[in-house]
Chain A
Amino acid sequence: MSFFRHVGAVAWKDLRVELRSREIVYTMAFFAALLVVVFSFAFVQDPKLSASATPGVVWCAVAFAGTIGLGRAFDREREGDTMRALLLTPASRLAVFLGKAASITLLIVSVELIVAPMVAVLFNVPLFDHPLPLLILLVLGALGFSLVGTAFAAMLLRVRSRDVLLPVVLYPILVPMFIAGTKGTGALLGAAPDLTAAWYWVQFLGIFDAAFLVVSMWTFESLVIE
């Protein structure tokens, strides 16, 4: 049980730091909102186009805002040189990893909760007609993004050109997640929402998250040395 206590402690540490300054969540949210506005200039004129582009807009905003949030979260660790301290604690590496992934998941979910209503309003789409599958899709997507993202960002901590390399290594791996997210969200929109398809994509995201949780658990010990 101490494992989960450690996970909670690491996550709560990150959230406490974040709540004091709110730097990451404000900048992430503003960046995501800006993206939605820019996309709306491209898409909102044509109503047919805007309805089908909506899922893509939501998940693009999640992807880009998530990347900068991830980068910022680990920059903070590097600036304070706290990563070494974290690894020296009696908590296992895995607990540190899961704690950080949990805090980043919460950050991304909070950004999603701002982006989704914005998109629903600006693009005039009934995004919240089926709130439960949408919420689960968003949460599982955030979880998958943060699991893979935390693993790579931790690996990239001391590497040169890490800011460019993080998206370069992250996005190709995450493509199935984006496909599942956009298709799932798209299935909830439209004249005849396809709920079976939406739940299928929810399951797919669940499998994706489980697979990468297991892989991260296997490889994290050997990947993060310092």
Chain B
Amino acid sequence: MSKPILIVSVLLLVTAYARAADGPSAPAYVSPDRAHCEEELGKDRGWHEDLELQLYDNVHRTESETFTRNNKHVILAYAAIWVLTAGFVVFVWMRQSRLKAEIARLSADVANATKDAST
């Protein structure tokens, strides 16, 4: 019974991660030289691609670190909730079985006592 739940939860997490991968857009920094740089970047495709390549690893690494950390914590938190809830249900179950044993013992005692009394 747990395997399908595991698969479903993994699929849900992957989908959520994919949706979460679109990060926020940073606020624009107004620089006096910006217009000039953008003009140059537009003209020099080689420089444009070099810059992209240089930034790619950094951005990718920080984003993936953040989300890996977040993922771990979300999974940990939900797991904690389920473990504690399931633990309490198991506790109630055990008390229930102990109660049944106690009732059986009590009825056996009473049966013995009434048998002794009647004989």
Q: Do chains A and B touch in the complex (CB under 8 A)?
A: no
